[in-house]
Structure 1
Amino acid sequence: MWDDHEVLDLVANSLYLLVVLSVAYVAGQWALRLPVLPLREIVVVDREGGKPRHVTHAQAEAAIRDEPIGSFLALDLDAMRRAFGKLPWVRTVTIRRLWPQALEVTLEEHVALARWGEGMLVNIHGETFSGESDETLPQFDGPAGTAGDMARRYAVFTELLQPLGRRIGRMDLSPRRAWRVHLDDGLVLELGREQMTARLARYVRTHDHLLARLSPPPSHVDLRYPNGFAVR
């Protein structure tokens, strides 16, 4: 083998290439730690490229204050993504480098649909999240894990109530999955555990020529009867 010059040349070339690659790797790791191309700017925008509605500049700065920023090339984007994802109102985070020395952080913020329990909110996807809002929102109360179902029912019930010009102020779902809807005028509708959509549609159909004529107007309508309803 040692008398075979071709084999010796191949071994020598392989060793040389290995040394070159090792040196290049070490040099690359060393270069990443140098203050070359320091990060100059972090731009935080919403999904439309505008200013986030709920996340402030101070909150964005605080989110990464304890993160090792380093140079533009050595940024740990996953760590930064997790840091921004912990902020209230943030649903998803996308981060990309803007050459030569900037970073763009795109935040998808929750869009609040309703209040949930004590101090929580429900977004339009039926997901609960922690946040504060001054908006006038309906209240959802139900067993854990039912926010998504309540959000879907809310959309259906809201559409059915449009001819009456009424809005839902509160929805309750009992542990036995019985539905109760409180309208914005104070009226309470008992929908029960089945055929909720059909029962509410029946209420809307009969409202103008029957219920609206009652004096005084009812405060409670029980729609759980198969062929009618009870009022009080």
Structure 2
Amino acid sequence: MAQTVNEVTDLMSDKKDRPKRSTRLPPSAKYFFMALVIGLLLLILVMGAKALRDAPPAAIEVSHQGLTAMQYDALQQTMNQQSVTSFFTTDLQTLRDIAIDLSWVDQISVTRDWQRGIVITALPKKAVANFGTERMVDAKGVVFVPADSEELTQAQFATLQGEITQAPVIMQQMQQINEWYAPLGMRVEDIILSPRMTWLVRFSNGLRVIVDNENTAQKLLSLSQLLGNQLSTRRDEIQSVDLRYKNGFSIAWHMKEP
């Protein structure tokens, strides 16, 4: 029995002391596998580039959200004229720049959508007044040409006239005058800033006011106070007021019918 145990012990000892064998690839095989992997990666890149190049042009969809029918048609027509590449390679910034160049567009968003393609969403400018006879102006004083020319005929809008660069100043002046004269039931219907910086204002009740660029705000405010107090009973008899005086003003009255 002792002999058998010793034999087993010897066998285990021999197995423990036996040197481990490791299988090593020759250098040429390593280089072969590395070249094979690199070749596969290059093949994938080439095939991917070819697939992108040969892909059909991306579909462009203009969203109806927030747009009138005329605005939608104008934006869609502009986008249809653009040459686009595939879904992944189309330059979205270029499309955005083209859309934002439309005068009536205020904000634009261009995104990729797996289902719909390239989606363009536009936010139009909101007009608050006419500027001359062919343009409109928003609350920030930005002048633009509307997509629908029928918007120029809206009666509720006042008409501003002057240099386009002065549009923000004219808009601010109109808003201020409306605030002062609102308690009198009067609002601006036409306001003109001449090249000599003279203001001509026509109100909703027909009253016309002319004022120079010296102490303009104070003169207009004082007139609103006079019309609400001392001249309140004769307000409807006044045809026009000239405020281009340092120490007063002149009034033109309506001629009474015989």
What TM-score does the superposition give when structure 2 sets the normalisation length?
Answer: 0.71
Paired with 1:34 and 1:221, the residues of 2 have a C-alpha distance of 73
Aligned sequence identity (%): 24
Q: Measured at CA, do residues 107 and 27 of structure 1 come closer, stay the same or move farther in structure 2, by a change above 3 Å?
A: same
1:220/1:231 contact within 8 Å kept: yes
Q: What is the letter of the counterpart of residue 143 of structure 2? A: T
What's the offset of the Cα at 1:101? 4.0
Change (3 A) 1:66 1:143: closer
| Greater RCO (Cα-Cα under 8 Å, separation 6 or more) | 1
Structure 2 letter corresponding to 1:53: T
Question: Residue 27 of structure 1: CA displacement?
Answer: 3.5
1:157 aligns with 2:177: yes
Shift of 1:41: 6.4
Instruction: State the secondary structure of the residue aligned to 1:194.
Output: coil
Shift in Å, 1:147 = 0.9
Mapped to 2, the partners of 1:54 and 1:141 lie a distance apart of 29
Q: 2:154 aligns with which of 124, 128, 135?
A: 135
Q: Which residue number corresponds to residue 3 of structure 1?
A: none
- Corresponding residue of 1:31: 51
Deviation at 1:31? 2.1
Residue matched to 1:4: none
Contact 1:111 1:124 in 2 (8 A): yes
Q: Which residue of 2 aligns with 1:189?
A: 209
- Kept in 2, the 8 Å contact 1:89–1:130? The answer is yes
Residue in structure 2 matched with residue 6 of structure 1 by the alignment = none
| Structure 1 residue matching 2:238: 3-state secondary structure | coil
Whichever structure has more helix as a proportion of its residues is 2
One-letter amino acid of the counterpart of residue 68, structure 1: S
The CA distance in 2 between the partners of 1:119 and 1:173, in whole Å, is 17
> Relative to structure 1, is the Cα distance of residues 209 and 152 closer, same or farther in structure 2, using a 3 angstrom cutoff?
closer
- The gaps in structure 2 that reach 5 residues or longer are 1-29, 253-258
Q: Deviations over 1:110-161 (max 9, x none)?
A: 1112222341222221111122213222121213411111112122111111
| Counterparts of 1:31 and 1:106, CA distance in 2 | 28
Once the two structures are TM-superposed, the CA of residue 183 in structure 1 deviates from its matched residue by 0.6
Query: How far apart are the structure 2 equivalents of 1:95 and 1:215?
Result: 55
TM-fit CA distance, 1:20: 7.1
2:241 to 212, 221, 225: 221
Aligned partner (choices 187, 198, 205) of residue 218 of structure 2 = 198
Report SS of the residue matched to 1:105: strand
Is it true that 1:98 corresponds to 2:113 in the alignment? yes
1:54 deviates by 6.2
- Asked whether the equivalents of residues 190 and 203 of structure 2 are also in contact (C-alpha less than 8 Å), the reply is yes
TM superposition score normalised by structure 1: 0.78
Q: 1:186 to 1:23 in 2, by over 3 A?
A: farther
2:63 aligns to what? Answer: 44
Tell which structure's C-alpha radius of gyration is larger: 2
Say which SS state the counterpart of residue 68 (structure 1) adopts.
Answer: coil
- What residue number does 1:210 align with? 230
Query: What letter matches 1:142 in structure 2?
Result: G
Preserved contact between residue 242 and residue 250 of structure 2 (Cα < 8 Å): yes
Contact 1:122 1:128 in 2 (8 A): yes
Answer whether contact 1:166 1:184 (CA < 8 A) is retained. Answer: yes
Quickly say closer, same or farther: Cα 1:65–1:218, change in 2 above 3 A: same
- In the TM superposition, what is the alpha-carbon distance from 1:99 to its structure 2 partner? 3.0
- RMSD of aligned residue pairs (Cα, Å): 3.2
